[in-house]
Amino acid sequence: MPEITGPGPSQLLIEVEFGVPSRQCVNYGICRIELAQGPGRPKSSGCKQCGGLALAFTPEEGLLELAFLRSSLSEQTQRQHFGKGFFLIEEAFPLPPFLYRKLEMPAAAIACGQYAVLESGPFLNIQFSNLIIF
């Protein structure tokens, strides 16, 4: 089930494809976010090494956190996108409407920049704090 509720903020299980949209999903950033449909679902791009699953939630106003499931990321993807201790966004990424509506946040985009990666057990967490609000 994609939506997870409990004590604390609502969470969504999403599928994230890495890359830059204007460069056909190569380089560094987020190219696409979709609602995860369950295990075994093929990625839209067909690239099994280009993304993974994450829990998306808003721990506080103006903050979006993505907790990537390590087990859904290939070793190559972990090294390339998380291995330097930060996650790079080369091009601002507008959040899809399903995401900001379900998380009850304003329409926004993730701004360009380097975001710290926090390792927490089975997760690689990234907090996006400088969102561009529309």
Cβ–Cβ < 8 Å for 127, 115: yes
Percentage of residues in the chain with pLDDT exceeding 90? 78
Using the predicted structure, report yes or no on whether residue 98 has a pLDDT greater than 50. Answer: yes
Average model confidence (pLDDT) across the chain: 88
Phi, psi dihedrals of residue 58, rounded to the nearest 5°: -120, 95
Cβ–Cβ < 8 Å for 134, 109: yes
Three-state SS for 33? strand
The domains of the chain are located at 3-133
Three-state SS for 64? strand
Q: Which amino acid is at 98?
A: F
pLDDT tier for residue 1 given thresholds of 50, 70 and 90 = very low
What global pTM score does this model have? Answer: 0.87
